[in-house]
Amino acid sequence: VDLYDRPDVYAALRAPQPEIPERICALARAHVRGEVRKVLDPACGPANWLLPMAQRGYFVAGNDLSPSMVRAARVALAGHDAEIARGDMRDLRLASAPFDLAIEVSGTSGLMLERRDLLAHLRSVASVLRSGGLFLMMVFTRDSGPVPSAWESGEIPLPDGGLASVRYEVMSRVDHTGVERIRRTVRTHGVQDCPPQFAEEYSVRTWTWRELHSLVAEVPEFRLGTVLDDDLLHPIDEPAFADRPEVVAMLHRV
Ligand SMILES: C[S@@+](CC[C@H](N)C(=O)[O-])C[C@H]1O[C@@H](n2cnc3c(N)ncnc32)[C@H](O)[C@@H]1O
């Protein structure tokens, strides 16, 4: 079992903190030139981030590679003004483009291990954002935290019954490539058709402050603005960058 094959479990475990969508709206109001009507999530999963935006009256568009996530996003957004497409975040094709705001605040960019893949993603998002628009992109930083290290959620109830929890372990880190090996273990109780425990290992790419700046400099359609903490509240400067496992970069569509 892969967590992405269980959108119901994923949606519960990775639900946004309730205050974050409102902060995204405030950033959009402050930083998008002109009206904000259409919002894109280029790797939307089960629409965890799009649903609160749709509920606030925005048109939302989502894209995801996984058929089960695409199905789950369509169910979650039924009755809302939305487009959900199956595709690669490095080659977005959405009939409802262009968008005013794009959000990828759950760390999916970390799955792109090669610089050229993240560049292709940035170029693709730029191609579907209008001038004056904003892309909020989470990146993992080359942080100085201990390895190995672990973080575990509490037990979270699922809407259809049962409980789930998740544990993330950073197993190893290779400083010169910026790649971290992560093990994710999901435990469930009483969730229909779900094993009580399943684990996966995957790699994520981390970035230094300089690497992030040089990456964005290669995409002239974007200007790198303020880098924020993952609560979307505080600006992060170069010295603070490596003290945080992840940050959110504000990319302004020129
Ligand atoms: C960390 S989840 C984020 C989902 C969503 N933003 C959320 O928080 O609910 C990662 C999602 O990215 C999708 N994904 C991974 N690689 C992708 C790619 N190259 N193109 C599009 N989607 C991708 C996965 O299928 C999964 O649904």
pLDDT tens digit string along 71-107?
A: 999 999 999 999 999 999 999 999 999 999 999 999 9
Q: What is the pLDDT of residue 144?
A: 81
Q: What is the pLDDT of residue 138?
A: 98
Q: What is the pLDDT of residue 9?
A: 96
pTM: 0.96
- Give the residue from 245, 94, 62, 61 showing the smallest Cα distance to 169: 245
Beta bridge partners of 185: 167, 199
Q: Is the CB of 105 under 6 A from ligand 1?
A: no
Q: Is the CB of 111 under 6 A from ligand 1?
A: yes
Q: What is the pLDDT of residue 52?
A: 97
Q: 97 φ, ψ to 5°?
A: -65, 155
How far, in Å, is the centroid of ligand 1 from the Cα of 192?
Answer: 23
Q: What is the pLDDT of residue 2?
A: 87
Residues of the chain with pLDDT under 70: none
Q: Is the CB of 48 under 6 A from ligand 1?
A: yes
Give the pair of three-digit tokens for residue 19: 């205050």
Q: What is the pLDDT of residue 205?
A: 97
